[in-house]
Structure 1
Amino acid sequence: MSLTIYLSGEIHTDWRDQIKQGITEKGLDVRVLAPVTNHEASDDVGVNILGTEDKPFWKDRKGAGINAIRTQTGIQSADVVVVRFGDKYKQWNAAFDAGYAAALGKPLIVMHAPDLTHPLKEVDGAAFAVTETPQQVVDILEYVLQA
């Protein structure tokens, strides 16, 4: 068995790299998909391709639309969606991705610190597993892929 996973969520730590390293170290047959994690490139893609905007709303709207092509395609293609919530910034996009994955019936693994349990209770309620570390995600993938 092999899996395709989509790694959604915060972009300010190396959690994706830790999961990829764990997958490699354990020799798991897992293909990893993710959004563009270069914050500036993600924010500016709309105006860089489609032209400048005077109002921030329209700049963000253009970028969000183009980024959604990658995000929705990745989530739809994934067998499992992992969503990481960090303590920095309010990650509304991560919550949206979790809801989208749940609406599609995708198995959802959520990762966050214990102090985010209350604000994320609805997201956690939709998750198949709620984790705190990248290693726990890797261990779940290893278990699921056991022969």
Structure 2
Amino acid sequence: MTLHVYLSGEIHTDWRDQIIDGAAGLDVVFTGPVTDHAASDDCGVAILGGEENKFWHDRKGAQLNAIRTRKGIEEADVVVVRFGDQYKQWNAAFDAGYAAALGKSLVILHGDDHAHALKEVDAAALAVAQEPAQVVQILRYVLTGSLPE
């Protein structure tokens, strides 16, 4: 069985690479958002034309990024959403809610410091992990039934 996993959330650390590398050899296809921060922010105006007002600049980018995000989440078997220590990640919370509304298997990834703030998001998840290695172990278990050694 091939598992399609969408990796959503913060783009400032290498958590995605840790999961992808750790899942080597498993039958997993990973997708995710554009993680080039500048490209993600500026795609709308770069493609559709400039905007003087920052609101419309951001909106154009958000709408173009939503095409990829919606497709990735809709086609995923599992959606992993990472909340990092830097910045408020409203987009990650939105992705988690969208995935939950679609009935996707949701894995949330964050440290203890976000436990209270994300209690509703965590309650919608099938698993809440603190480390990328735990996400890999979840994927391994789902695909093979193997427990960590």
Q: If the TM-score is normalised by the length of the shorter chain, which range does it land in?
A: over 0.9
1:77-114 residue CA offsets vs partner (Å, 9 max, x unmatched):
10000000001000000000000000000000000001
* Unmatched tracts of structure 2, length 5 or more: none
* TM-score normalised by structure 2 residue count: 0.96
- Decide which of 127, 135, 142 is 1:144's aligned counterpart: 142
Equivalent residues in 2 for 1:1-147 (5 A)?
1-24=1-24, 27-146=25-144
Shift of 1:29: 0.1
* Unmatched tracts of structure 1, length 5 or more: none
* TM-score normalised by structure 1 residue count: 0.98
What's the RMSD between the two structures over aligned residues?
0.6
CA distance in 1, matches of 2:116, 2:75: 30
The share of aligned pairs that are identical, in percent, is 68
Shift of 1:146: 1.3
CA distance in 1, matches of 2:144, 2:87: 36
1:5-36 residue CA offsets vs partner (Å, 9 max, x unmatched):
00000000000000000011xx1000000100
Shift of 1:52: 0.3
2:144 is paired with a residue whose SS is coil
2:13 is paired with a residue whose SS is coil
2:23 is paired with a residue whose SS is helix
**2:118 is aligned with what amino acid?**
L
**2:7 is aligned with what amino acid?**
L
Shift of 1:60: 0.5
**1:110 is aligned with what amino acid?**
I
State the aligned residue count: 145
Shift of 1:116: 0.4
CA distance in 1, matches of 2:142, 2:85: 28
1:87 is paired with a residue whose SS is coil
